[in-house]
Amino acid sequence: MLKKQRLEFILSKLNSIYPKTPIPLNHSNNFQLLISVLLSAQCTDERVNKVTPELFEKGFNSYEMSKFSREQIYKIIRPCGLAPQKSKAIYTLSRILLEKYNGEVPNSLKELEKLPGVGHKTASVVISQGFGVPAFPVDTHIHRLAQRWKLTNGKSVIQTERDLKRLFPIESWNKLHLQIIFYGREYCKARSCYGLECMICKTCFPERKRKIKTKK
């Protein structure tokens, strides 16, 4: 199968399996989305969704969250892991949003990346899912599947993002990155398939015999 055919098949298959792509992290506004994505670093979405109801009950926006002490935030988010760093980031960024952005989350990738605890991936998720700005956040699932599907050499997450943006139409990015995540969690898992068993891998690479080792 030629690369162009492979891309068309992947898009078609993912659209048929996941016609709708609900955002996995529960939130009511972009501030809550930002905090939830920050908490999801090295933590499952399921665990984040169990922790955030208590956090957002009173800290539902940057103004209310700024009333919390670091210790209060720490106690609530502790199950998410990396709590010392994450509680400090939430405590600080809530105040920065109030001081510099009138309490609102900026819709600029550059401005978001200036906030404590917010890296490129977190910022990309927020502008994509919160503001609808085309972006292609790359997590471990996307990085793995892009290599198994021979869409990137996997040299780095940055390279994978560049390659996927080049290969797929910009209007597909916001939905597609979630579709690939869902597919990676359900069918092409880290410790199964290995580029040999799922429907996309088998269809795109019917002659493949050896397991694909992916770079992290």
Question: What total of structural domains would you count in the chain?
Answer: 2
Q: Which of 139, 150, 165, 175 is catalytic?
A: 139
Q: What is the pLDDT of residue 211?
A: 96
Do 109 and 62 lie in a common domain?
yes
> What's the rounded Cα separation, in Å, for the pair 10 and 148?
12
What tokens were used for 125? Answer: 């998720």
Domain-embedded: residue 17: no
Does residue 77 form part of some domain? yes
On average, the pLDDT of the chain sits at: 97
Q: Which DSSP state fits 163? A: H
103 and 70 within one domain: yes
Q: Domain end: 75, 101, 130, which one?
A: 130
Structural domain that includes position 70:
30-130
Of 65, 99, 130, the residue that ends a domain is 130
Region 93-99: mean pLDDT is 98
CB atoms near residue 102 (< 10 Å)? 9
Q: How far is CA 74 from the centre of its chain?
A: 23
Q: Count how many Cα atoms sit within 13 Å of the Cα of residue 74 in the half-sphere of its side chain.
A: 9
Q: What mean pLDDT do residues 178-182 have?
A: 98
Quick one: 88 and 112 in the same domain?
A: yes
Any catalytic annotation for residue 139?
A: yes
The domain boundary residue, chosen from 80, 100, 130: 130
Q: What is the pLDDT of residues 63-77, one digit of tens each?
A: 999 999 999 999 999
Whether residues 72 and 110 fall in one domain? yes
- Based on the fold, state whether residues 163 and 189 are members of the same structural domain: yes
pLDDT band of residue 91 (cuts 50, 70, 90) is very high
End-to-end CA distance of the chain: 26
* Helix (H) / strand (E) containing 169: none
pLDDT over 90, % of the chain: 98
The answer on 187 and 104 residing in a single domain is no
| pTM, entire model | 0.94
- Residue 95 belongs to a domain: yes
Instruction: Name the nearest CA neighbour of 131 among 18, 11, 14, 30.
Output: 30
Query: Residue 68 is part of a domain; what is its CATH number?
Result: 1.10.340.30
Residue showing tokens 């098949």 = 9
Decide if 163 is catalytic.
no
Between the CA atoms of 133, 25, 55 and 46, what dihedral angle is there, to the nearest 10 degrees?
Answer: -160
Structural domain contains residue 194: yes
pLDDT in tens, 107-159: 999 999 999 999 999 999 999 999 999 999 999 999 999 999 999 999 999 99
Task: Examine the pLDDT at 1 and tell me if it is beyond 90.
Answer: no
Residues contacting residue 121 through CB under 8 Å, at least 6 positions apart: 137, 138, 139, 157
pLDDT at 70: 97
The pLDDT of residue 175 is above 90:
yes
Residues 71 and 142 in one domain: no
Q: Provide the 10 A C-beta neighbour count for residue 139.
A: 15
